[in-house]
Amino acid sequence: MSGSTLVLVTGITGFLGSHVVDQLLRDGYRVRGTARSAKVSLAQEGYAAYGSQYEVVAIDDLVRGDFTEALRGDGFLPSREVTTHVVEQAAIEGSLNVFRQAEQAGVRKFAYASSIVTVRSISMRDLNTSTPISPYSDQGKPPFFPRSIVPNSTCEEWLDVSKEDALEDPFFVYAVEKTEAERAVWDFVDQHPHIEMLAVNPPFFYGPFAPGFRNPEAKIAVLSTNVLIYNLIRLDGPPLPGVFIDVRDVARGLINALKAPPSSRVGRKRILMSGEWFSAKDAIEYLEQMRPDLKDRLSEPGRRVPPVPKSLIDNKRATEILGLEFHGWKQTLLEAVDDLLRLEQEWRAKGLTPS
């Protein structure tokens, strides 16, 4: 499936979405991306070299928007990153609106970007790691990660916090919202058995930016989870959660989902995936070795954290069903830091300060 195959990708200006577009184009697919009207020209600029192989459609309202024109294609990869801090029905309806219209338009293959936070979970404190700092909160409450250490952990296990819990902390809002949205999408798929869907459930993803990624206004929020890497090269930056996967591996998983075996052969395709975990202290020591010029700006809080487990996530299904191989954290870290430094130089040249 490539060549003349047209794939619709949502969220193409984001950290993950831009990597999905980049890899699809390199693989020879035709790509139609959706972006808000204000970002269409930016999205077009990033991959203009691909000419007619790539196009962008403006969609401003995921809940009520009409996707008729956008959905004339062969596959659908919704890679939108949810960052709202309010648990609203809109988060669910935004996903379902696109799925409903895609199904009516005859699309039968879907790849969905979810999160590891939707899986039955335990606190990072229970793993005896450092007190985690959520990228969505400054309250220091622990984000959740899957109990994949349990041998019989399955893809049917779900986060067990409620919307009421979510109101106490913005990270929980994110976790509950992702869980509610993914559950709703799977319910839709169950009601339409002719649909083949695969959901990837990664932890925090880090790495370099895709060639078409743009952040001309020096907005920290646009860095997505790479802001946690950015904190490592800020003297007062909080420790990053080392529960990680390379963003390129997540993008590759979404793309390979289009060619994955049918659910009738492999069961529900809800795929946990992760790279090898590392601590902020590990990262700082490696950066001191490989990028000694950064020594005086590396995170002081990050130097004081204890070690973390190598990983509690079993990649067996990600390997068997998606054929994935995973980047090591050292390569990912260096490439992410180098790209962040490049962006800093671009911003300084324009007289911009990250905000």
pLDDT for 59: 80
Candidates 214, 192, 193; CA nearest to 56 is: 214
In a domain? residue 306: no
In a domain? residue 125: yes
Number of domains in the chain: 1
Q: What is the pTM of this model?
A: 0.87
Candidates 212, 223, 200, 190; CA nearest to 273 is: 200
pLDDT for 326: 96
pLDDT for 122: 45
In a domain? residue 341: no
In a domain? residue 294: no
Q: Write out pLDDT tens, residues 264-319.
A: 999 999 998 999 999 999 999 999 999 999 999 999 999 988 888 777 788 889 99
Residue 269 belongs to domain with CATH number: 3.40.50.720
Q: Which domain holds residue 211?
A: 6-223+243-279+311-328
CA–CA separation, 33 vs 4, rounded Å? 16
CB 90 within 8 A of CB 65: no
- DSSP state letter for 138: S
In a domain? residue 338: no
CB 5 within 8 A of CB 30: yes
pLDDT for 266: 94
In a domain? residue 49: yes
Low-confidence ranges of the chain (pLDDT < 70): 1-3, 61-91, 120-155, 161-171
pLDDT for 324: 96
In a domain? residue 305: no
CB 212 within 8 A of CB 21: yes
CA–CA separation, 177 vs 91, rounded Å? 7
pLDDT for 217: 92
- Cβ count within 10 A of residue 348: 12
